[in-house]
A and B are shown apart, each in its own frame.
Chain A
Amino acid sequence: MNIADIINPANLVYEKTKVMNDTPMHYCPGCSHGVVHKLIGEVIDEMNMQDKTIAIAPVGCAVFAYKYLEIDWQQAAHGRAPALATAVKRLLPDRLVFTYQGDGDLAAIGTAETIHACNRGENIAIIFINNGIYGMTGGQMAPTTLKGMKSSTSPRGREVPLAGNPLDITTLLAKLDGVCYATRHAVHTVAAVKKTKRAIRQAFDNSMQNKGTSIVEIVSTCSSGWKMTPADSNDWMVENMFPAYPMGDLKNE
């Protein structure tokens, strides 16, 4: 059988979700954001919620997420996505409301909004991309930067006496009573991608069932900020990020 015979709509096994449009993404080659956008689109499609979803875009690389997924979006001030999501979900309780935030947005400038939204148990889902760096602004040290990890503002590696310890905010949030689901995943292999998709689905289901706040942390790479190839970034992430941010459920009620 030749290739032209195989390439036939009847034999299709994987195509881009319809929730995503054809705008080329601005992310660097190999960026984990693209995979997570795709998974969110697939889950929304599966849930048949495309016209009932309102997402909150962050400040950071994913600020333009609203250009790629054909759902309703709001764009929050830096770190304020959980506060905006609170308002949206309270005003329109039948909508699926989620925030999409990076570590600089969620764990630095937005720590107060994140903690209080989680503590109130708002019925929203938080997709948290943790790559241990401020990617958009040029690879500066973030709260989640690992001990000894080099960044443009810690060229000799993060020194704890100067910059403090890495902030494991998902573990912190899992302790709050308002949080029903806190989990940590990655998207570096096919198996990991499938697990992440299931986690996003559960978080979105929890939001619709008014069970409380769900946090899905996705430990990600930033090949440009880490100054490695995408494949090397994945290996570096497995070796260095996973011991500090172990995979799996932290809370599931």
Chain B
Amino acid sequence: MAKFIGAVVVEIETCKGCNLCVVACPTSVLDLSSEANSKGYNFSHMANSADCVGCSACANVCPDACITVYRVKTA
């Protein structure tokens, strides 16, 4: 079975730290950062990037359209 590895890019200034992407991520890659953006929101970031499969679940549920997803087939 083909395996994928992925990566997501979160636009830090647009993210409002709503946590919906963290809940939606099936591989628990995302988490809210302990740092805050200029508006004071703890933005989402890849806390566990090795497990990302690039499924785009986070980007689909993101209300602020601040997630871009990349994916590579490995096998």
Which residue numbers of A lie inside 8 Å of B, CB to CB?
A: 1, 3, 5-8, 11-17, 20, 24-25, 27-35, 37-38, 187-190, 193-194, 223, 229-231, 234
Contact = CB atoms under 8 A, between A and B. Distances in A.
A231 B65 contact: no
A7 B61 contact: no
B72 A229 contact: no
Main secondary structure of the interface of A (DSSP, over half): mixed
Given A29-B17, A30-B19, A230-B19, A11 B71 contact: yes
27 contacts: A1-B72, A3-B7, A6-B6, A6-B7, A11-B70, A11-B72, A12-B68, A13-B6, A13-B69, A13-B71, A15-B69, A16-B68, A24-B13, A24-B14, A25-B64, A29-B16, A29-B63, A30-B19, A34-B65, A38-B65, A189-B24, A190-B61, A230-B19, A230-B20, A231-B19, A231-B23, A234-B23
Main secondary structure of the interface of B (DSSP, over half): mixed
Contacts of B62: 34-35, 38
B61 A6 contact: no
Contacts of A24: 13-14, 64
B9 interface: yes
A29 B42 CA distance: 11
Contacts of B41: 29
Interface residues of B, number: 34
Contacts, number: 98
B60 interface: yes
Interface string B32-71: 0000000001000010010000101101111111111111
B64 A6 contact: no
B39 to A, nearest CB: 9
Interface pairs A-B: 3 shortest CB-CB:
A34-B63, A30-B18, A29-B16
Given A6-B5, A231-B19, A31 B70 contact: no
A14 B60 contact: yes
Nearest to A31: B63
B65 A12 contact: no
Given A24-B13, A187-B61, A30 B70 contact: no
Contacts of A193: 60-61
Contacts of B60: 14, 190, 193-194
A13 B70 contact: yes
A16 B58 CA distance: 12
Contacts of B65: 16-17, 20, 34, 37-38
A238 B8 CA distance: 28
A221 B66 CA distance: 19
Nearest to A16: B65
A155 B59 CA distance: 36
A193 B21 CA distance: 13
Given A29-B18, A190-B24, A231-B23, A12 B70 contact: yes
A78 to B, nearest CB: 24
Contact of B56 (A13, A17, A32, A35): A13
A17 B64 CA distance: 12
